[in-house]
Every structure is written in C-alpha cells, then in structure tokens.
Copies of this chain bind each other. A is one copy, B any other.
C-alpha cells in the first residue's frame, strides 16, 4: 500500500569510499594530489568522521598512503608490484577456470559467451572503455564459480591496479585483439579439461601483462 520509508541504511563512510574509489579510477583524483580529510568533508558536506573512515579503508587496502604533510595520496605501484598483481590474478582466475572446466554445463558456456559479446560491444574506444570491458569479462568467469571468497579477492586485486589503467597507452588494435581472445577461454572450459582451461587463462593473463608493459 505505502512506499517503504526505511532508508537503504547505508553508512556515509561507505558511500564516501565508493565515490573516492571511483574518483581514483576515473582519474579525478591523481597521484601526487593531496587528499585531505577536512577538504573532502567540506566537499561532501559532511563531517570529517565518515571521510576518515573511508580513507582508513582505502589506506588499509593499499590504494592510498600517508603523504608528506600528513594527508594521503594515491599509492603508486611499481613495475615489480604490477607483476605481482598479475601473478595474484593468475592464481585466482586460473583456478576459477579449473573449477569451471570441471563442472562445465551448456548453460554456463552460453552465459559466459553472452556476457563476453555484450561487453565486447564497445560504445567508445578508449583505454578506459577497454579496461572496463576486460574487467567485466574476467569477472564473469569468477562470478560463475559462485565462490564469494574468490570473487572478493578478484575485486580487491582489480581495484588496486589503478594507476596503470589511466596512463597505459595501449595500441587500439592490440586492445581489440586482446578483447577478442576471450571466446577461446570459454572453449577451453568447454573442453572439460581443467589443466587446459588453466593454461588458457594463464597465457591470456600473461599476454595482458605484456600488452601493458608494451612488450608486444
């Protein structure tokens, strides 16, 4: 009869967290920008407390770090670290592939193919758009395992590699080619052979790393 009046009951801190993460991903906040609690609080028109809680979380996730004058700034990821991230990704995503190959069903394959086609249909040709599509597709594999821990690790890992997604100057053609390689992953799952599926994803991820490192 009546509309529910109960609020989504979301903490301000969580909303701030999401907005800040987005701002970092979108390049609204840049490395070397000084991130200050009071400044943000003013912009959000709230007190410092929830802002602080959001920043604390971002710091804990190693996305930002304490800066010179006390404030925070975006943490820059070294090349060495980027490689570590890619290995972590491999651990998660390749294992997911194994799981999927071991319990492959036509419905699963269909769904994955659908997601891929949907995501590959870019409306805009930018590095940003490429990353978004790529992430959507890769995430779909992990989602399909129905394992919330794997998914959480996936999200955490992907949220971190932020700096490079903005500055990477990837050749458009190479980008499109890499994006097109995802169907083959589904084929690997369809084979029903875990080790084959594993290897397919491993090579795909390594390709991505090389792509980013400009070692075409």
Contact = CB atoms under 8 A, between A and B. Distances in A.
A53 interface: yes
Contact-residue bracket for chain A? 20 to 34
A11 to B, nearest CB: 9
A153 interface: yes
Contact of A91 (B56, B57, B96, B195): B96
Interface of A is mostly: helix
A179 interface: no
Contacts of A74: none
B53 A148 contact: no
A4 interface: no
Contact of A53 (B56, B81, B157): B56
Interface in A125-166: 145, 147-150, 153, 156-157
A45 to B, nearest CB: 22
Interface stretch (A18-26, A82-90, A109-117, A167-175): A82-90
A90 B13 CA distance: 33
A90 to B, nearest CB: 7
A99 interface: yes
B95 A90 contact: yes
A147 B53 contact: no
18 contacts: A53-B53, A56-B57, A57-B57, A84-B148, A84-B150, A85-B149, A87-B99, A87-B147, A88-B149, A90-B95, A91-B92, A91-B94, A91-B95, A91-B150, A91-B153, A92-B153, A153-B153, A153-B157
Ranked nearest first, the 8 interchain pairs of A and B with the lowest CB-CB distance are A91-B95, A88-B149, A84-B147, A84-B149, A153-B153, A91-B91, A88-B150, A91-B92
